[in-house]
Amino acid sequence: MSTENRTRAVTTFRLTEMKQRGEKISMLTAYDYSMAKILDAAGIDVILVGDSAANVMAGFETTVPMTLEHMIYHGRSVARAVDRALVVVDLPFGTYQGNSKEALASAVRIMKETEADAVKMEGGEEIIESVERILSAGIPVMGHLGLTPQAIHKYGTYTVRAKEKEEADKLVRDAHLLEDAGCFGVVLEKIPAELGARVASELRMPVIGIGAGGGVDGQVLVVHDMLGINNEFSPRFLRRYANLHEIMTGAFRQYIDDVKNGDFPNQTEQY
C-alpha cells in the first residue's frame, strides 16, 4: 500500500459547481497507470476505474466475476498516475449487495488500498442501506441506474432500459433516493434520452450518461471502446474517436516483418 495520500483538483464539490454553471462533465474509464496518466494530462474531469475491466482487460463476458482484489489492483494503478481528475472505483458484484456492514468494509478497502476519491455502486432502493452506511463513513458514493451490468443474469439482456413507465418511474424514485442519501452523482446507462434529461433536470447532483442522451450533465464511455481498440462492440451510443485496432494491427505486423527480415534492430538500435 502506498503511503502517499493526495487531494486532487477535481472534487465532488467541483462537479456540483460545474453542473450549477452548466459546464458539462467529461468522464472516461481507465484501468492502468499509462492510460490514466494520458487521460489526466489531457484534462479529463473524472476517471472511472470501471468493473468493465472484466470485459476489456480480463476477457470475461460479464462483469460478475470481478473481485475486490481485481478492483484494488486496477484502482491503485490508476490512482498512482492521476494528479487532477477525480478517481472513482466500482465496487464489484457481491461486495455490497448482501449487507451494509460488508459494503462498508469493501468501500473502506478500496479507499485505503487504492487512494481513489470515491466508489460507484449499481442499484437504487435495494442497496440504499449500504449506500447510506458507506456515506456515513465519509466515503463519497456515485450511483449507477438504468442498465446495471452486474444484474445481467436477472435481466438476461443488455437492451435499452426503462422504456416502460413503471421502470422509468422506479428509476426516477431511485435517483432521488440516492441524492437524498447524499450521493455526489449518478451514472445513467442506456435509457431513453428524454428520461435522462428529466432526471438531470430534477436532481441537484450531476447526472453522467452513457447512452442516456445529451440532456444530462456529462458523458462517460469505456476508453477501449471510444479508442476503437475493441472493434466488435458498436452500440448506437458509442462514438469512436480513433481506430486503434487498425493502427495497432499495422504496427504489430510491421514489427513482425522487421524482425523476420532482420531490419530490426538496425545499426543505431544496438550497443
Chain positions contacting ligand KIV, by CB under 6 A: 29, 48, 50-52, 90, 144, 187, 189, 210, 220, 222
Backbone angles phi, psi at 186, to 5 degrees: -145, 140
Closest to ligand KIV by CB, 90 vs 117, is 90
**Which of 218, 212, 221 lies closest to 23 in space, CA to CA?**
218
CB closest to ligand KIV, residue no: 50
194 is catalytic: no
Closest to ligand KIV by CB, 45 vs 189, is 189
Q: Which of 126, 129, 189, 246 is catalytic?
A: 189
Closest approach of ligand KIV to the CB of residue 189, in Å: 6
Closest approach of ligand KIV to the CB of residue 86, in Å: 14
How many whole angstroms separate alpha carbon 22 and alpha carbon 108?
33
Closest approach of ligand KIV to the CB of residue 90, in Å: 5
Asked if 187 and 209 touch (Cβ cutoff 8 Å), the reply is yes
43 Cβ contact partners less than 8 Å away, ≥ 6 residues apart? 26, 84
How many whole angstroms separate alpha carbon 119 and alpha carbon 110?
8
211 Cβ contact partners less than 8 Å away, ≥ 6 residues apart? 147, 160, 189, 190, 191, 235, 236, 237
Angle at 170 between CA 89 and CA 61, to 5 degrees: 45
Closest to ligand KIV by CB, 158 vs 252, is 158
Closest approach of ligand KIV to the CB of residue 28, in Å: 9
| Cα 124 versus chain centre, distance | 17
Report CA-CA distances (Å) from 99 to 35, 87, 91, 126, 148. 34, 25, 14, 11, 19
Closest to ligand KIV by CB, 39 vs 187, is 187
Closest to ligand KIV by CB, 113 vs 218, is 218
Closest approach of ligand KIV to the CB of residue 148, in Å: 9
Active-site positions read 189
